Structure 1
Amino acid sequence: MEVWVMQKNILIVDDESITRQGIKKTLESWTNGNKEILVAPNAASAIDMFKSKKIHLLITDIDMPEMTGLEMLKEIKRIGQLPVVIIISAYSDFSYAQEAIELGVINYLLKPINKQKLIEVVEKALELEEKRKRVSMIEKVVDDRLIHIKEDEKLDGPIEKAIKYLDSNISNQINLKEVARHVHLNPSYFSVLFKEQTSMTFSEYVTRIRIQKAKNLLLTTNLTVSEIAEQVGYNTPKYFIKIFKEYENVTPNRYKVK
């Protein structure tokens, strides 16, 4: 399976060309081409970039003409992006600290900027961005109803065994009779017992674990929708897309980029 790794984009915003290009040169040397380093001479240009590209780390001057760094951060937040932010300034009196923290600022550098200090701060910022991404991904993928079932210590042995079997074989064509046979129960009785203990039908549970696995694959791999449909047990991409949209209110492709 090919794991999809998104390149990190770093945007530097400063109206002083020397500072802007100096930071860019330092970071390009440090990243050795592994990250895209972008620059903008003012807040308006930066906002335009945010509208067309995902920015993971923003390094911005706080004191710029026409629109300050904090005003820019409010606008960026309004359009739906929440990068990790490092603020740079020529002044040590940073009186907007609380407001800045609320807008995503995690560190503050004074001009002139020490190259080693810059790299240290950027490394920590990217580590934080990665942690935030992982938390966000977990929240996006996890089905609360499935978590509740798997944390339930009162499940009978056969139902617990059935759930483990389903989780291990979800990419296969699976049906109630097969699972009932696996746990040595009559299919009709198994169906009633399953719903009684999980508060959902057998078919709903199967669909939910397939959708959860599909969401994880959509966010972490470069697999096509057809390939994902096959890996989560659907015969045709068309039917997979239909079921996915019923549960998530968006198509798989739209889910991947939303």
Structure 2
Amino acid sequence: MMNPSRDCFKMIIVDDEHEIRQGLKNADYASLNIEVVDVCENGLEALKSMDQSPVDILLTDIKMPLMDGLELIQKVSQRHPYTKKIVLSGYGDFEYAKRGIEYGVLDYLLKPLDFEDYYGVLAKTTAILNEEREKLLRQANLERKAKLSAHLLRKNFLGELLRSSLTEETIELDSASAEVMLEMDGTYAVCVLRFQSHPPRPSYDKDSEWGLIVFTLDNLLQDLWDENGYGYHYVDPYNGQCALIVANAEWIGSLEAGRTDLEGELDRIVKALRRFRGLFKSHLAYTIGPIVHRATRIRHSYLDAEFKFEDGPANEEAVRVVSENPSAGNETKTGQTNGKRMVLEVKRFIEHNYDRTITLDDVAKHVHLNASYLSYLFKEITGMNYIDYVTEFRIEKAKTILSESNWKIYEVGEMVGYENPRYFTLIFKKYTGQTPLEYRNTTYKSHAKDG
């Protein structure tokens, strides 16, 4: 097959007459970007040469011993369909030409050869080859881009599916683009594998080393999980945490029956990953989230599986299957206690840092939790989104400052973490129904009236 990455086109010459072979070999091919790689005296010799090293152009005589040119052309058409075939013969029999055309012969030249005609035929041949080469390059590039695009779409979709609350319509549309098969009323569970040094990246890793770890995990789980038809996997690029979405009826059935089949498979996967301990340099542990019965609830199984890690140190091969029932006993109560403690620490962090920009990632790093899990936990414990809590806390601080001081409005905004005065005014009015200045004036009037 033609190789689109080569600089010049490879050509083989086949003729049983020595003088003709040498004369053709010594012609000027450089200007046509052609290299003659072999010269053979019969079709059998040429076929053997081409099977070992395929060429782009075959120039062959018709009448030769052992294997004639027409038989050679027929076999080359079957084995090397991208090779361009040119017939050279001293026989002007139209039947030869017609039979050659049936096998895809590009052109037909008669002896004695007119080299002007010869170079013209070769120029036409290389033009066709160049066009095909460009087409192959474009096709290969498009296929590579499509493959990368599908991989990226799948990675982004699975990350959103696990971390965000998606509607059924969004899941249906995005899963199709990401080439992920999910039934809306399907039954699922999520297993979480993580390094015991989770959540921050191990300190020994340089960026390039960490990239290799994530790449290796992604490829291994593709082979060990996705390719076996168990479901889909996602590797968090920040901390290397792996989520395995169980979409296989057999494993779901074993979970529902209370058997340990899935645990045994996870044990095998973890052991397979241990072969790369020199790369990972940390033990892997796993938990299994509850079974859920809607694709929109896959996120809940994932977050509950994460919660099992926050409930205490996980042993390397520890597995606990958590019921989706909210009254699941002491384990749930212990988890709630730890969760409340984490949320209190988050609130203390906000109280001491509200006067500057603090993102959810900043807070998550402070309390050593995954950001998506912290967002879920904070809402679960407080009933409020993290950003709403921070905003309300800042607005309450701003109201106090406005009512008790003469600081300018933009200065008050900066004191509570808003560098943009206009944005501060908009947020303040959204939460209080008044601009900061209106609030201050109302407060002063109220104080004067009370006085």
Fold conserved between structures, TM > 0.5:
yes
Supply the RMSD in Å over aligned alpha carbons: 4.2
- Change beyond 3 A, Cα 1:240–1:99: farther
Checking the alignment, whether the CA contact within 8 Å between 2:77 and 2:104 is kept in structure 1 is no
Distance in 1 (CA, whole Å) between partners of 2:65 and 2:179 is 59
Equivalent position to 2:157, from 176, 188, 196: 176
Question: In the aligned structure 2, how far is the partner of 1:106 from the partner of 1:54?
Answer: 17
Take 2:12 and 2:220, find their aligned partners in 1: how far apart are those partners? 38
Q: Distance in 2 between matches of 1:94 and 1:21?
A: 27
Closer, same or farther: CA 26–77 of 1 in aligned 2, 3 Å: same
2:216 to 219, 233, 236: 236
Which residue is 1:10 aligned to?
A: 11
Map 1:95-244 to 2 at 5 A: 95-133=95-133, 167=149, 170=152, 174-176=155-157, 186-189=165-168, 190-195=170-175, 200-201=179-180, 235-236=215-216, 239=219
* Partner of residue 87, structure 1: 87
User: Is the contact between residue 15 and residue 64 of structure 1 (CA under 8 Å) also seen in structure 2?
Assistant: yes
Check if 1:48 corresponds to 2:48: yes
The 3 A distance-change label for structure 1 pair 200 and 110 is same
2:116 counterpart letter in structure 1: Q
Q: State whether residues 87 and 108 of structure 1, in contact with CA within 8 Å, keep that contact through their aligned partners in structure 2.
A: yes
How many angstroms does 1:55 deviate by?
1.1
Equivalent runs, 1:21-100 vs 2, <5 Å: 21-28=22-29, 30-31=31-32, 35-100=35-100
Verify the 8 A CA contact 2:13 2:58 in the aligned structure 1.
yes
The 1:97–1:103 alpha-carbon spacing in structure 2 relative to 1, beyond 3 Å, is: same
Structure 1 residue 68, shift from structure 2 partner: 1.5
Q: Which has the higher contact order (CA 8 A, sep 6+)?
A: 1
**Partner amino acid, structure 1, of 2:44:** A
**1:198 and 1:82, CA in 2 relative to 1: closer, same or farther beyond 3 A?**
closer
- Identity rate of aligned residues, in percent? 25
User: Does the aligned pair in 1 maintain the 2:56–2:83 contact within 8 Å?
Assistant: yes
Counterpart-to-counterpart distance in 2, 1:177 and 1:241: 14
Distance in 2 (CA, whole Å) between partners of 1:24 and 1:237 is 54
Gaps in structure 1 of 5+ consecutive residues: 147-165, 204-229, 247-258
Q: Is the 8 A contact 1:10 1:58 kept in 2?
A: yes
What secondary structure sits across from 2:126 in the alignment?
A: helix
CA contact (8 A) 1:30 1:119 kept: no
Partner of residue 221, structure 1? none
Q: Secondary structure at the match of 2:76?
A: helix
Structure number, greater radius of gyration: 2
SS at 2:127's partner residue? Answer: helix
Residue 51 of structure 1 and its aligned partner are, at CA, apart by 1.2
Q: How far apart, CA to CA, are the structure 1 residues paired with 2:179 and 2:130? A: 35
CA distance change for structure 1 residues 188 and 98 in 2, over 3 Å: closer, same or farther? farther
Deviations 1:102-127 (A, max 9, x none): 31211111111122211110111122
| DSSP-derived class of the 1:187 partner | coil
State the Cα distance separating 1:174 from its structure 2 match.
4.1
Query: Aligned-pair distance for 1:75?
Result: 2.4
Equivalenced residue count is 188
Check whether the contact 2:97–2:108 (CA below 8 A) recurs between aligned residues: no
Residue segments in structure 2 that go unaligned for 5+ positions in a row: 183-210, 228-451
Amino acid at match of 1:74: Q
Q: Would you say the 8 A contact 1:10–1:37 is kept in 2?
A: yes
Native 8 Å contact 1:13 1:20 kept in 2: yes
- Look up the SS of the partner of 2:55 in the other structure: coil
Shift of 1:179: 6.5
The question of whether the paired residues in 1 share the 8 Å contact of 2:89 and 2:109 is answered with yes
Contact 1:55/1:83, CA 8 A, preserved across alignment:
yes
Aligned to 2:362: none
Contact 1:191 1:201 in 2 (8 A): no
Seen in structure 2, the aligned counterparts of structure 1 residues 200 and 81 have a Cα distance that, compared at 3 Å, is closer
Conserved? CA contact 2:58–2:86, under 8 Å: yes
